[in-house]
Amino acid sequence: MITVHYLQHSRAHRILWLLEELGIDYQIRTYRRGADFRGPSELKAVHPLGKSPVIEDDGRIYAESGAIIDYLIDTYGGAGLKPEAGSEAYTRYRYWLHYAEGSAMPVLFLKIVIARMPRQVPWLLRPLARMISKAMVNGFIDPQVVDHLTFWESELSKDGFFTGSTLTGADIAMSFPVEAAMTELPKSFAIPAIRRYLDAIRARPAYKRALERGAYIFASS
């Protein structure tokens, strides 16, 4: 049976969702973040970086969201979740699968880190840290977030999903950065295609089951 090493408030929800879409039985081992928001030492015993998601299947450890998504679809036959190799849809699939972590998440993570910076310094330095943080977010990070959102809106306006008219593993990979970016969205920014995309994925029974199971394991632990 597959074991998902599931860190609280992490990107591991996407893997639960994919497993539910594939109809694969799995078990979850849960980990809580510390005061520094890092994973516990127990997770480092699973993988040296102590990150999540990590899965264990047949005695082997697999890390990195995109690699896990590809592995599960290739191994367990996710019909329709990965376009045929050589097709235009496959070219888009491969791009978005890697873009999710390679381009989208770094700028979103940077915003989180910079926003937390004033709370990490001695209180006498906090006014200065807030000024620096605000200047970096407003002048450097937010314009990049808007660029990404504009890009997503344009692509999703074509077919509804990132690789075409149906859900693929690339959409599962992209769900986390899209949902994360929505919390940072400028109020006046018009994104009807992104909102339709989020409505579509959140309406899927497998997405709902994964969300319920992920929420339940921390509520009950």
> What is the CATH classification number for the domain harbouring 131?
1.20.1050.10
- pLDDT for the residue numbered 213: 84
Q: What confidence tier does 192 reach under pLDDT thresholds 50, 70, 90?
A: very high
Question: What strands, in cross-sheet order, belong to the sheet with 26-31?
Answer: 26-31, 2-7, 54-57, 60-63
Q: What confidence tier does 138 reach under pLDDT thresholds 50, 70, 90?
A: confident
Strand partners, 57: 60
Residue appearing with tokens 């400028």: 186
Same domain for 211 and 194: no
Comparing 86-95, 116-125, 200-209, the range with the smallest average pLDDT is: 116-125
Mean pLDDT, to the nearest integer, of 125-131?
78
Same domain for 96 and 72: no
- pLDDT for the residue numbered 218: 44
Q: How many domains does the chain have?
A: 2
User: For 57, phi and psi rounded to 5 degrees?
Assistant: -140, 120
Same domain for 16 and 41: yes
Q: What confidence tier does 208 reach under pLDDT thresholds 50, 70, 90?
A: very high
- pLDDT for the residue numbered 221: 42
**Is residue 93 within 8 Å of residue 168, measured between CB atoms?**
yes
Same domain for 110 and 189: yes
**Whole-structure pTM over 0.75, yes or no?**
yes
Q: What is the pLDDT of residues 63-115, one digit of tens each?
A: 999 999 999 999 998 778 999 999 999 999 999 999 999 999 998 888 878 87
Residue numbers of the domain that contains 19: 2-81+206-219
Same domain for 132 and 71: no
CA distances from 65 to 55, 70, 133, 205 (A): 10, 9, 29, 21
For residue 24, the number of C-alpha atoms closer than 13 Å in the C-beta half-sphere is 21
Same domain for 212 and 192: no
Same domain for 188 and 136: yes
Same domain for 16 and 31: yes
- pLDDT for the residue numbered 209: 94
Residue appearing with tokens 């199971």: 213
Q: What confidence tier does 188 reach under pLDDT thresholds 50, 70, 90?
A: low
Q: What is the pLDDT of residues 14-25, one digit of tens each?
A: 999 999 999 999
Mean pLDDT, to the nearest integer, of 158-174?
95
Q: Helix, strand, or coil here: 80? A: coil
Q: What is the mean pLDDT of the chain?
A: 87
Res 37 pLDDT > 80:
no
**Is residue 4 within 8 Å of residue 29, measured between CB atoms?**
yes
CA 70 to chain centre: 15
Strand partners, 54: 5, 63
- pLDDT for the residue numbered 51: 86
CATH of the domain at 18: 3.40.30.10
Same domain for 106 and 146: yes
Same domain for 215 and 200: no
Same domain for 100 and 131: yes
CA 83 to chain centre: 21
Same domain for 210 and 138: no
* CA pair distance 166, 177, nearest whole angstrom: 19
Work out the end-to-end distance of the chain between its first and last CA atoms, rounded to an integer number of angstroms: 21
